Amino acid sequence: MAKRSIADSYIRYVNQEVKEKPEKGWNHMVQGFQANKWRARLLPKGNLSRGYQKLEAMMMSLVADALSHKDRYVWGNIFAPCEIMQCFGVRTLSIECLSCYFSGYHLEDYFIDCAQNSGIAPTLCSYHKTFVGAVESGALQGPRYAVTTSLSCDGNLNTFRYLEKKIGVPFTFLDVPYRDDEESVEYLAGQLRDMTSRLEEVFGRRFDEETLRQAIRVENETRRELLKFYELEKQHYYPGEIISQLYLMMGTHLLMGTEEFLDLVRFMVQDIQTYPRLEGKRILWVHLLPFYQETLREYFNGSKKYQVIASDIVLDFAEELDETDPFRALAVKTIRNIYNGSYGHKAEALGRLAREMDADAVIHFCHWGCKQASGGSILLKEKMKELGIPMLILDGDGIDKRNSHDGQIKTRLEAFLEILDAGGEQKEGETC
């Protein structure tokens, strides 16, 4: 209890300081992340399985340690090729994830208002608004470099360009072609090579291709282990929180190719086998998870009845990469990501995933401002109907509570779960 109140007082203190003396606020924000790293290691949440406890601690360390030195990280989006940055001893921190961390200080609404007051569109993705607002407020300090991709949303190029103009963080922009063919792969692989030369200049280090090959080997192994974990998760109750899926997404996007993440996934594969059989429903979650939403936490966190077994944001690419030509391999990985190309292609992939995971239901969360996800939600619903898998579409906001009405989400979710429970073994393809 006492610890909780110390943490709360610190959050309140930083929240005020960022608003009143933004130039001082940043250091205290980073110190708070450090403290949280130790909290996650020493006092993990008791309701989580051991694997998810370790995962949370790892993601806290990633952010806290990287932010402590401006030379240790680049800003990225979640599709930036972290494997290449790792060859320079540099972490990739995606701005979407960092926005979520800022919300730990309840600063997201303040930052979003700062962005909107400067003229940024209120209808833009809230993660991007939070990040731009953090810069506008004067609180956020930048690294030396940034890397972003055109995958999967419009905001990327424009946000990074704005940040470059505003506080001078130069960046590489990777244009990911829409089509999956040889020509696209060549086009993107060329850009990845150019980016690598640019990083050599920025960080003053030589690039070693063998290091990248090794990262790809580790990545392939991690993916194999992850698929084993998912196979086991169909059968075992493995308590997590909805935020655990976001941490897993951070792992598969920002730490892919590292030994430490591979070790963690291996541990999870062993650990899950010690947990009891899953008796509840298996939910496949599509798109982002609003980790703060009361109703969703109540229904899914640690639940034996409804387990979120997978999310497309974690499993967005599942093939083996060819380590002999690592740049081409990373280009293929990005182009074949399920977020790239037509929604028809994505709906097919999600249909396959739902079947492979024996999902009892699918929940698609339409995050405010995300046109590429929201715009395809009806197509996905049709696909799931065809497969006879019930699907619920929820509208809300992954970070800004003001755009997400808990009462409305509660009514929709409860009605859906009632239908699901009533359906029992039969899956008649209700969609809501």
Partner 1 sequence: MLGYVCKYAPVEIFEYMGAEMCRIEPEVTNFSQADMRMHPNVCSFAKGVLEDVLEKDYEGVILTTCCDSIRRLYDVLKEQLPDRFIYMLDTPRITKDAGIRLYENRIREMIRAYEAFSGRRFDEAGFGAFLQKKKEEEDRREADSRLSVGIAGARANPNIEKILKQHHIRAAFDLTCTGLDRKILLEPEQVMTGYVRGLLSQFPCMRMEEAANRDQLIVRYAESADGLIYHTVQFCDNYAYEYAWLKQILKRPMLLLETDYTKQSYGQILTRIEAFLESLGREPAVSADRTGGNQTMYVLGIDSGSTSTNAVILDQDRKIRAFSVVRTGAKSGLSAQKILDEVLEKAGLKREDLSRIVSTGYGRVSIPFADENVTEISCHGKGAHYFNPKVRTILDIGGQDSKAIHLNAAGEVTDFVMNDKCAAGTGRFLEMIARSLEIGIDELGPAALQSTEDIEITSMCSVFAESEVISLIAQNKEKADIAAGICRSIAGKAYSLMKRVGLEPEFMMTGGVAKNPGVVRAVEEKIGAPLYICPEPEIVGAVGAALCALEQMGR
| Binding-site ranges for partner 1 (CB under 8 A) | 109, 113, 116-121, 123-125, 132, 150, 152-155, 157-159, 161-162, 164-166, 173, 175, 177-179, 183-184, 187, 190-191, 342-344, 366, 368-372, 374-379, 401-403, 405, 407-408
Strand runs (DSSP E) across 276-390, as ranges?
281-286, 306-311, 361-367
Give the Cα separation of 36 and 6 in Å (integer): 12
Q: Are 328 and 189 in contact (CB under 8 A)?
A: yes
**Which CB atom, from 73 or from 285, has the smaller least distance to partner 1?**
285
Tell me how far, at minimum, the Cβ of 329 lies from partner 1, in Å: 19
Distances from the Cα of 23 to the Cα of 29, 110, 140, 239, 251, angstroms: 11, 16, 8, 40, 31
Tell me how far, at minimum, the Cβ of 339 lies from partner 1, in Å: 10
Q: What is the CA radius of gyration of the chain?
A: 21
Tell me how far, at minimum, the Cβ of 224 lies from partner 1, in Å: 32
| Coil, helix or strand at residue 367 | strand
Give the Cα separation of 220 and 228 in Å (integer): 13
Tell me how far, at minimum, the Cβ of 288 lies from partner 1, in Å: 14
**Which CB atom, from 54 or from 381, has the smaller least distance to partner 1?**
381
Strand runs (DSSP E) across 71-140, as ranges?
73-76, 91-94
**Which CB atom, from 333 or from 401, has the smaller least distance to partner 1?**
401
Q: Are 216 and 83 in contact (CB under 8 A)?
A: yes
281-286 and 146-149: which strand pairing? unpaired
**Which CB atom, from 229 or from 339, has the smaller least distance to partner 1?**
339
**Which CB atom, from 158 or from 211, has the smaller least distance to partner 1?**
158
Structure-derived torsion over alpha carbons of residues 188, 192, 195, 200, reported in degrees to the nearest 10: -170
Give the Cα separation of 383 and 345 in Å (integer): 11
Tell me how far, at minimum, the Cβ of 334 lies from partner 1, in Å: 14
Tell me how far, at minimum, the Cβ of 15 lies from partner 1, in Å: 14
